[in-house]
Structure 1
Amino acid sequence: MTAHPMDTFVDDKMARRNALLLAFAQALGGASASIVIATGPLVGYMMLDEDKALATLPVSTMVLGTAFGTIPAGMIMRRFGRRAGFTGASLLGAASGVLASFAVFQDLFWLFALACCLGGFAGAFVQQYRFAAADTASDAFKPKAISWVLAGGVLAGVVGPQTVIWTKDLFVPILFAGTYLAQAVLALIAFCLLMFIKIPRPPRISHAQAGGRPLREIMAQRRFIVAAACGICSYALMSLVMTATPLAMIGCGFSETDAALGIQWHVLAMFGPSFFTGNLIARFGKERIVSIGLALLAGCSIVALMGVELAHFWTALVLLGLGWNFGFIGATAMLTDAYRPEERNMVQAVNDFLVFGFVATASFSSGALLNTFGWATINMLVFPFVVLSLGLLAWLVLAERKAGTIS
């Protein structure tokens, strides 16, 4: 069998260099997202006079922007390359921060939500960092490259919430206006870092030459179905609980700083394990790590249902972050088994479109559910989806084991 042209791009030395640069860029891109998560519902709550159920809409529009941006991101980077796509998105992220700050100054809720949507569109490119890190990596190094990039979120877990704490009162009495100007500065720093990544652009070859399968055939694979479902479950459930948490904490009498620090611990838990998640996947297998992640998501809700003290909120947020890390990184690694190199851009984009479409629905529903049914209901909703995802994983493992026995 002749080597595919994409195989000539495998270079672990280049992959390590790219992964480090992308990890630092992830720290800044992730910080921008955590800023919106920590402050968006609070800004919305302050701007809205009557219908407080829409307070989480800015977070939802950010996620929706990410969902809408996933397929264009794949097409743009397939046509112009990773670096052009990433740097252009960083500039868009900076513009969204400036627009959000202006909206806060002018007390314009819908303009603020639009700015968050633009930031989410830029975030669709940030979500591709983990795939870009694997582009030039060998099969053995791919899980580590993915986890290295997501480890950059450890810095985001500090940079984002600390940016909120240090800048929220910059233009008193207008809270958080300075925070979104700071978000724009972070995006510009990311732009400078991304100028130095080196990922060769795949040669432009025809579909017949590439040997790429129809998208329908790829998506019909058991492994794609289960990887996508577990990725959706891990991310959407995390978004559902996380988006509601700052409002729930404020409702229980805690301060904006308490909420921001809670999000900080959550983001640290999301990305901190990434230093060794790749090794755990290599040792114990993707499916087992995803299962542990789903169990941790259920553990988060158990703790949240036990009480509404600060310790309950923060512990639940930590478990929520750990569950996302194992569940989402494991599902991402599973997905890489479902496509060939020449199919990667479109499959990755479709996967992220599915993931963030459901995440947007979860975050949008979060405010209304909290306002109508309360904090306990949000946490109770986690359990059936965790059970469903674990069932799909068991189905995949048994089916592949049976197929291996037959062969």
Structure 2
Amino acid sequence: METASPSRKRRRARHDEEELDDTPGTRRMYKNIALLSGMWGLGLGAAFVQISSSAFCLIDNGYGSVSSAPLGLIMLLSSPCAVVVPRLANGMGERKVFVLASALGVAGSLVQMAGTMVFREHGSAAQLAMILAGASVQGFTYASSNNLRFAVARFFPPEFLPTATALVLFGGVVSSLFGPLLSNVTRYMIPGADYAGNFLQIALLYFLFGVLAKLTDFEEPVGKRSKGEGDEVDRALGMLLDDSDYRRMEEEEDDNDEYIEVGARPLSEILIKTDLPLLTLFQCLSYNIMALYMSQVPLPLDALGYTPNQGTLVITAHMLGMFVPGLVSGRIIGRVGIWTGTCAGFLVSILGGGVMLVNYSLALFFVGMTLVGVGWNLSFVGPSALVSTIYTPKERADVLGFNDGLMLLTIGIFALTGSQIYKAINSWRVFIYTLVGISALSAFAAVAVGFGTARRGRLKINAAGDRTREGDAADAADSIDHSEASLEGSLEHITQAVNK
């Protein structure tokens, strides 16, 4: 029977002691996860109210051909904002960035509300302009909200990232109930100004988003940290390895607090040596498939004679499908593996599309769109969580800017042109067949990537066994996660810097 090496025993003992003594720290982590989850729910909930409200508002006013334009503008303009947000967070602090995002969201939705109240004529071009202008301002807010799923990495160790990310996404359940569902009540709340109440509701959701941001324990910007706080190696190696031997990289014989600092790699090197391009690609596929279903479903619902309130209920069911699985999806992905979970998500999306092909009953719209939401959760959580494991703190802005910037750019392009694409196809069935085909290709690609990463992990372990003694080989094997080969590039970069 193989025995653990002394160094491994010491690490396990220290880890057990830390777990016993860190009850306040654990409470703090879960408190912040709850606040981040609430922020995610409010931010995304407001965005989804925007989708249904602005779409039906434009359809009712004779602008069905551009009904997805507000969503498209939000997504398209959030792409450059996604590059700016992490850099602003480094300079002024995450809390101030999210409060700024809240203020812009409130301002944009109030502009839209004013447009529906002042210009009430059917087909008013001025009303259309104000709705689009208000949506444009909310691009920064959406980019900031989307960045929340990476903030979770500051509060949880890497082995819990899928679960923690899923818990943050679970916050969307509340937004599903107080978002689109509540919009059925607020839609005609202001007499003579349909949909003005919806835009007021969006403003209130964004205001609450800012309140929760003020309560969350975000890190101070780099310039305001005390000595030793946020140490690069401490955080980077702790995030990648969760190994207490690396928590303090001090010279034992030196009384001065000297820390080894790991520099930032160029983005080109990160793209070559890690799985960042693949992770971004799968997030783009997952989000765009879901967003195309959600942004275009109001058109067939309207054509089939369903009311805006019924359409909003379909969107609500879809959102519940997106976020309710957050209670268990992290654990499922942890058991079956990132890429198996991603493949399963795309397969569930195929099932959702297939259900809506059976007939055009409202019940099947409910079931189909709910399944599409579940598929998004499973296919999106894993790749999104992995992104948080491949960068050091100095590389965070570049990596997140690339990942979210590219993802939101593609979403914006398809959302902005989605209505025209749907009108050109002029068939809900053909539209679904197209998305089902893309989902099938994505599922196949996830399987291929899963096999590839598992093979790389095995080769790495075998190579480590050939180079080291049996005990050291066991330690090396423990440091490699079979399913997370994307860590290799980041890990090698840091260990090389430490050994210099």
After TM superposition, the score normalised by the length of structure 2 is 0.75
1:290 aligned partner, one-letter code: T
Q: What is the match of residue 37 of structure 2?
A: 23
- How far residue 98 of structure 1 moved from its aligned partner, in angstroms, is 0.4
- How far residue 237 of structure 1 moved from its aligned partner, in angstroms, is 0.7
In 2, the alpha carbon distance for the partners of 1:187 and 1:257 equals 22
2:434 aligned partner, one-letter code: L
In 1, the alpha carbon distance for the partners of 2:220 and 2:61 equals 45
CA offsets per residue over residues 98-154 of structure 1, 9 Å max, x none? 011012222421221121121232111111111112223212232222112111100
In the alignment, structure 1 residue 399 sits paired with structure 2 residue 452:
yes
- Residues 161-180 of structure 1 mapped to structure 2, 5 A cutoff: 161-180=180-199
Aligned residues of 1:150 and 1:274 also touching (Cα < 8 A)? yes
In the alignment, structure 1 residue 334 sits paired with structure 2 residue 386:
yes
Q: What is the match of residue 85 of structure 2?
A: 73
CA offsets per residue over residues 139-197 of structure 1, 9 Å max, x none? 22322221121111000111111231111111233210111012111211221121111
Aligned residues of 2:45 and 2:176 also touching (Cα < 8 A)? yes
Task: Find the partner of 2:209 among 179, 190, 195.
Answer: 190
Aligned residues of 1:231 and 1:331 also touching (Cα < 8 A)? yes
Aligned residues of 2:86 and 2:401 also touching (Cα < 8 A)? yes
CA offsets per residue over residues 39-88 of structure 1, 9 Å max, x none? 12111223346xx3212111211222322321111111121111111111
In 2, the alpha carbon distance for the partners of 1:199 and 1:333 equals 19
Which segment drifts farther, 12-21 or 150-159?
12-21
Q: What is the match of residue 246 of structure 1?
A: 298
In 1, the alpha carbon distance for the partners of 2:407 and 2:185 equals 32
In 1, the alpha carbon distance for the partners of 2:26 and 2:132 equals 41
- How far residue 363 of structure 1 moved from its aligned partner, in angstroms, is 1.6
Task: Find the partner of 2:143 among 124, 132, 138.
Answer: 124
Q: What is the match of residue 46 of structure 2?
A: 32
- How far residue 260 of structure 1 moved from its aligned partner, in angstroms, is 0.6
Aligned residues of 2:187 and 2:198 also touching (Cα < 8 A)? yes
Aligned residues of 1:96 and 1:116 also touching (Cα < 8 A)? yes
Output the aligned Cα RMSD.
2.1
- Residues 144-163 of structure 1 mapped to structure 2, 5 A cutoff: 144-163=163-182
1:74 aligned partner, one-letter code: P
- How far residue 394 of structure 1 moved from its aligned partner, in angstroms, is 3.0
Q: What is the match of residue 6 of structure 1?
A: none
In the alignment, structure 1 residue 138 sits paired with structure 2 residue 191:
no
In the alignment, structure 1 residue 382 sits paired with structure 2 residue 435:
yes
2:198 aligned partner, one-letter code: T
Where 2:158 maps in the other structure, the secondary structure is coil
- Residues 267-346 of structure 1 mapped to structure 2, 5 A cutoff: 267-346=319-398
Which segment drifts farther, 299-308 or 317-326?
299-308
In 2, the alpha carbon distance for the partners of 1:214 and 1:89 equals 28
In 2, the alpha carbon distance for the partners of 1:335 and 1:23 equals 18
In 1, the alpha carbon distance for the partners of 2:338 and 2:190 equals 47
After TM superposition, the score normalised by the length of structure 1 is 0.91
- How far residue 385 of structure 1 moved from its aligned partner, in angstroms, is 2.2
2:189 aligned partner, one-letter code: L
CA offsets per residue over residues 318-355 of structure 1, 9 Å max, x none? 01100111111112023233323432232122111111
In 2, the alpha carbon distance for the partners of 1:355 and 1:175 equals 33
Aligned residues of 2:343 and 2:447 also touching (Cα < 8 A)? no
- How far residue 405 of structure 1 moved from its aligned partner, in angstroms, is 3.3
Where 1:201 maps in the other structure, the secondary structure is coil
In 1, the alpha carbon distance for the partners of 2:113 and 2:41 equals 21
- Residues 21-100 of structure 1 mapped to structure 2, 5 A cutoff: 21-48=35-62, 52-100=64-112
1:201 aligned partner, one-letter code: E
- How far residue 225 of structure 1 moved from its aligned partner, in angstroms, is 2.2
Aligned residues of 2:355 and 2:368 also touching (Cα < 8 A)? yes
1:178 aligned partner, one-letter code: G
- Note closer, same or farther for the CA distance 1:404–1:132 as it changes in structure 2 (3 Å cut): closer
In 1, the alpha carbon distance for the partners of 2:156 and 2:53 equals 37
Task: Find the partner of 1:102 among 114, 123, 128.
Answer: 114
2:68 aligned partner, one-letter code: T
Aligned residues of 1:12 and 1:138 also touching (Cα < 8 A)? no
1:43 aligned partner, one-letter code: C
In 1, the alpha carbon distance for the partners of 2:280 and 2:407 equals 7
1:299 aligned partner, one-letter code: L
CA offsets per residue over residues 215-243 of structure 1, 9 Å max, x none? 11212346222211111001001111111
Where 1:198 maps in the other structure, the secondary structure is coil
Aligned residues of 2:85 and 2:97 also touching (Cα < 8 A)? yes
Q: What is the match of residue 243 of structure 2?
A: none
- How far residue 378 of structure 1 moved from its aligned partner, in angstroms, is 1.7
2:403 aligned partner, one-letter code: N
1:168 aligned partner, one-letter code: R
Identity %: 24
Q: What is the match of residue 414 of structure 2?
A: 362
Task: Find the partner of 2:288 among 236, 242, 248.
Answer: 236
- How far residue 209 of structure 1 moved from its aligned partner, in angstroms, is 4.2
Q: What is the match of residue 481 of structure 2?
A: none
1:47 aligned partner, one-letter code: N
2:129 aligned partner, one-letter code: W
Where has structure 1 moved over 6 Å in runs of 4 or more?
none
Q: What is the match of residue 130 of structure 2?
A: 111
In 2, the alpha carbon distance for the partners of 1:70 and 1:203 equals 20
In 2, the alpha carbon distance for the partners of 1:295 and 1:199 equals 37
Q: What is the match of residue 3 of structure 1?
A: none
In 2, the alpha carbon distance for the partners of 1:222 and 1:384 equals 28
2:429 aligned partner, one-letter code: A
Which segment drifts farther, 16-25 or 133-142?
133-142
